[in-house]
Structure 1
Amino acid sequence: MKEISGRTAVVTGAGGGMGRSIALELAAEGANVAVVDLDKDAAEAVAAEIGANGGKAAAYAVDVSKLDQVEQLAESVYERFGSVEILVNNAGVTLRPFRASWDTSYEDFQWVMAVNFWGVLHGHHVFVPRMRETPGEKHIVNTSSMASLVAVAGHSAYSASKSAVDGLSHAAREELKTQGIGVSILHPGPVRTRIVTSERLRPSEEQSDKRGVKSWTDYIVQPENPAVQSAVEQLEDADVAASPWEYITPDAVGRMVIDAIKDNKPHILTHPAPAETLQSRFDDILAGAPAPRQD
């Protein structure tokens, strides 16, 4: 999609962090922006910021895990703007502390999957049929994570949800390439956002700090080794495994997404690719294949 000006974009999780950055950059390119967030005040603040800069935006308070709310969102956006050419399924949540997969409750998995995967799927199912009927180029960006590319112990629910986003996105890109719709997967590394505090959005009794959840560090850290304890805590903060990368501000991400939309890139990484880890994973996959037949 070479021309963004005059198009309409829907961005979920746009009340702050990466979503805000993406919304602002799309507006700067001349797009009308539907600013979608669970937090109504946050969505309205971003929409007002866009308006103050001369852009066009509308705010919507939506829980993307609820299909009926996403359907109502589509009705409202199409009624206001007439079309949607860019869909950014960005809303996401995570759990703290990191925890072993066997200590991650079904409710934990359900909550993370409901937002991170079903939220994306709801956006896909509701908007794609209408986008297919709209002439011209269109584009979808689905937010995944570096956690879908590298193994992160203690992060099973989040990693599973983002891997599901990857699988959906790969299939959709293949399906939609003849429909005038590109699909990109955004893989953030350590970006300074409020996602690490996202359990504030859960009912009080379900929040991890109220339930005494056993931290993954309890399995691998000895009390007499505070240096290791500190290193593991830093790892949890970074959301990535053994990462040498530094945090970046979310303001940098919006421009990356704009460039990817224009070039129809399949993947958007916010940090250098973990090439050695990816190569090792690829080698393991090839090693799992049957040996060639020797006739």
Structure 2
Amino acid sequence: MVNTTGRRGFRGAAVVTGAGSGIGRSIAMALAARGLGVVVADVEDDAADAVAKEIVESGHRAIGLGVDVRDRDAVEAMADRAENEFGPVSVLVNNAGVTLRPFRASWDTSDQDFRWIMDVNFWGVVNGHMAFVRRMLNGSGERHIVNTASTAAIHPFAGHSAYSASKGAVDAFSVAVRAELQTQGIGVSVLYPGPIKTRITSSARLRPESEATESTSVKPWSDYVGTSGNNLVETADVGGRLPNRASMPYEIIDSDAVGEIVLDGIDNHRPYILTHPPHEDLIELRRNELIDGRPR
């Protein structure tokens, strides 16, 4: 049975994708401080190496790997490397993700953009799942998986359809695999980040120049609704000191705070981990609309 209370006794390896900065870096640092050997994986090799070096210099264990989560073979090779370096993997965090800027209408979003977003955000999670879960099933002791979705998966975000779709897929996938794994001693949590200062808003840097130019030249959503009608929060332009905890759903927080939030969620075996207070009114509205959709 899975331990449901208190500080959990993980051992061996932890793997965090998208860990070269932001949320992934914070989670990797927190897991390393817990005593796990951490594989810091990121599509940007230098960023992965820099975070791994930071962890090692703090007295903990880590290696950096350049991994494109869209590549199943590369993810499988990462699983082999993790076991060879640190032993069986007890914590897997499928965190790598990208987004589109500017925000845009669904009808102005290209097929290429939709496929890129889904390949990284959803198939990256599936590839991680397939590479690690069979190994984890053969393991013992505490084991846990965290898949990073977004509040965009549970709240309406006009102008953010491709990203919302990818994170909604992560959400539904995670709920299903939790039901499968709960009798196998493996916990599964979904992480729903709210507004956090990270590098995800510059995701276009990860695409070939021609694709990035075409994607960033699209008509912005604000052209349809104006700035006052746009409920999307842009974190890229936020400067200054940011809080570690949000008191409101739209408050932007520092990514360094997320690691401890995630560890607390894992320790308490929470199926859902939120970085911000939820939009209770929107959740209640959707609940009521779902109930109202019953057959009459």
TM-score by length of 2: 0.91
| CA distance in 2 between partners of 1:210 and 1:84 (Å) | 37
- The corresponding residue for 1:15 is 20
| Alpha-carbon distance, 1:235 to partner | 2.9
Larger Rg: 1
- The corresponding residue for 1:225 is none
Q: Equivalent residue of 2:270, what SS?
A: coil
- The corresponding residue for 1:122 is 127
| Alpha-carbon distance, 1:281 to partner | 0.3
Q: Equivalent residue of 1:256, what SS?
A: helix
Residues 172 and 212 from structure 1, CA distance in 2 versus in 1: closer, same or farther, beyond 3 angstroms?
Answer: same
* Alignment pair present for 1:269 and 2:274: yes
- The corresponding residue for 1:63 is 68
| CA distance in 1 between partners of 2:232 and 2:162 (Å) | 17
**Residues 95 and 147, structure 2, Cα contact 8 Å, conserved in 1:** yes
- Segments of 4+ moved more than 6 angstroms: none
* Alignment pair present for 1:197 and 2:202: yes
- The corresponding residue for 2:167 is 162
Residues 197 and 88 from structure 1, CA distance in 2 versus in 1: closer, same or farther, beyond 3 angstroms?
Answer: same
State how 1:75-94 maps to structure 2 within 5 Å. Answer: 75-94=80-99
Q: Equivalent residue of 1:235, what SS?
A: coil
| Alpha-carbon distance, 1:72 to partner | 1.0
Q: Which runs of 5+ in 1 are unaligned?
A: 222-228
Q: Equivalent residue of 2:23, what SS?
A: helix
**Residues 20 and 40, structure 2, Cα contact 8 Å, conserved in 1:** yes
- The corresponding residue for 1:226 is none
| CA distance in 2 between partners of 1:234 and 1:185 (Å) | 24
**Residues 235 and 252, structure 2, Cα contact 8 Å, conserved in 1:** yes
**Residues 97 and 208, structure 1, Cα contact 8 Å, conserved in 2:** no
Residues 209 and 190 from structure 1, CA distance in 2 versus in 1: closer, same or farther, beyond 3 angstroms?
Answer: farther
Q: Equivalent residue of 1:140, what SS?
A: strand
- The corresponding residue for 2:110 is 105
Amino acid at match of 2:140: P
Residues 60 and 18 from structure 1, CA distance in 2 versus in 1: closer, same or farther, beyond 3 angstroms?
Answer: same
| CA distance in 1 between partners of 2:24 and 2:211 (Å) | 26
Q: Equivalent residue of 2:294, what SS?
A: coil
- The corresponding residue for 2:234 is 237
For residues 184-230 of structure 1, the C-alpha deviation after alignment (integer angstroms, 9 at most, x for no partner) is 00000100001000111000111156662111111122xxxxxxx3x
State how many pairs are aligned.
280
Q: Equivalent residue of 2:93, what SS?
A: strand
| Alpha-carbon distance, 1:3 to partner | 3.0
For residues 133-158 of structure 1, the C-alpha deviation after alignment (integer angstroms, 9 at most, x for no partner) is 00112000000001001000010000
Percent identical among aligned pairs is: 52
- The corresponding residue for 2:263 is 258
Residues 234 and 148 from structure 1, CA distance in 2 versus in 1: closer, same or farther, beyond 3 angstroms?
Answer: closer
**Residues 11 and 23, structure 1, Cα contact 8 Å, conserved in 2:** yes
| CA distance in 1 between partners of 2:144 and 2:82 (Å) | 17
Bigger shift: residues 168-177 or 209-218 = 209-218
CA-based RMSD: 1.7
| CA distance in 2 between partners of 1:256 and 1:244 (Å) | 15
Q: Equivalent residue of 1:218, what SS?
A: helix
Amino acid at match of 1:150: H
| CA distance in 2 between partners of 1:285 and 1:269 (Å) | 22
Residues 261 and 95 from structure 1, CA distance in 2 versus in 1: closer, same or farther, beyond 3 angstroms?
Answer: same
